[in-house]
Structure 1
Amino acid sequence: MNEISFLEITSDDFDVIYEIELKAYPIPWSEKIMRSMVEGHEYKIKITYYDKVIAYVFVMVVLDEATILNIAVDPDYQGQGIGQKLLRYLKAQLSQKGIRSIFLEVRQSNQNALALYTSEGFHEIDIRKNYYPAKNGREDAIIMACVLMNE
């Protein structure tokens, strides 16, 4: 995929980002929470493909650690390496900022995401029981971490 760009999310991106959120997740974040992320001070990156937003990530940074709060690729663009490109870009950017490790939580049932995170150097460090709401009750979250090689 040529013509992709990594840019900071702005408040003008809210509608398209929330649309991706609704399409990408079985139980998406609420509009209120998503708006607070888009308008907040978190580290936030979007991928555009010919100026169309196709993926995003929100990251909270505290000292030398980062936590991925939300990451999504538009389902129309999944399976094309966009998530991998976004993770690699994010890791490089955070490493340059002196971040030493990245954490995230992922639904136990999300095998595609688990495979991607594992391939990008994340490993399981714990499980949060009944963390995510699910259609039939609750679902465990796998907590993963990736240590960045700062130079």
Structure 2
Amino acid sequence: MSELSISAEFFPMNEHDLDAVAALEASLQTFPWSRGNFADSLSAGYSVWVLRLGGDLIGFSVVMSVIDEAHLLNIGVCRRYQGQGYGARLLRHAMECARLGGARMLFLEVRPSNDKAVELYRHFGFRQIGQRKGYYPAIVGREDGLIFEKELA
């Protein structure tokens, strides 16, 4: 069966996914979230999802909601599947879950050096509203974080 004939599906993240999600995150980021960060997100009741293609975990998202606002804390797609629309599907799903949970606005931070992510967020109508100086650790020093928002309602 080819990958194209296999449908990608969303599932709520659970404890059995933690090792695979942490490994995927470590393969994507120089300064990754730990398994504990994902476990804490589960325990806190955040909207945490995995995207599976067949049985393979290929992506994840973590959204924290507070009253009528949500914050996309983390999102990632396996490098092998990047550029094929899975990131867009994850982002669309995260936005819809936040909206259904009552959020009117979705916020996020992104590294200015992450061109693909910045382009994706802009494509979905996110607009930059600020910048956090030295927000992210970097190989040398720190990197700023661009703050984006999108109205969901």
What TM-score, normalized by structure 1, do the two folds share?
A: 0.93
Distance 1:39 1:48 in 2: 22
The equivalent of 1:104 in structure 2 is 108
The Cα shift of 1:62 comes to 0.3
Cα pair 1:95 1:148 within 8 Å, conserved: yes
Query: Gaps (5+ residues) in structure 1?
Result: none
The equivalent of 2:144 in structure 1 is 140
The equivalent of 1:80 in structure 2 is 84
The equivalent of 1:93 in structure 2 is 97
Letter in 2 for 1:25: Q
The equivalent of 1:29 in structure 2 is 33
Aligned identity (percent) is 36
Distance 1:15 1:97 in 2: 27
Query: In structure 2, the residue corresponding to 1:26 is in which secondary structure?
Result: coil
Provide Cα deviations, 1:52-107, integer angstroms capped at 9, x if missing partner: 11100111100011001111111121111111011112222222232101000001
Letter in 2 for 1:100: R
Q: State the aligned residue count.
A: 149
Letter in 2 for 1:130: G
Letter in 2 for 1:89: H
The Cα shift of 1:39 comes to 4.3
Letter in 2 for 1:97: G
The equivalent of 1:11 in structure 2 is 15
Query: Gaps (5+ residues) in structure 2?
Result: none
Query: RMSD of the TM alignment (CA)?
Result: 1.3
The Cα shift of 1:31 comes to 3.4
Match of 2:119 among 111, 115, 118: 115
Cα pair 1:14 1:38 within 8 Å, conserved: no
Distance 2:44 2:79 in 1: 25
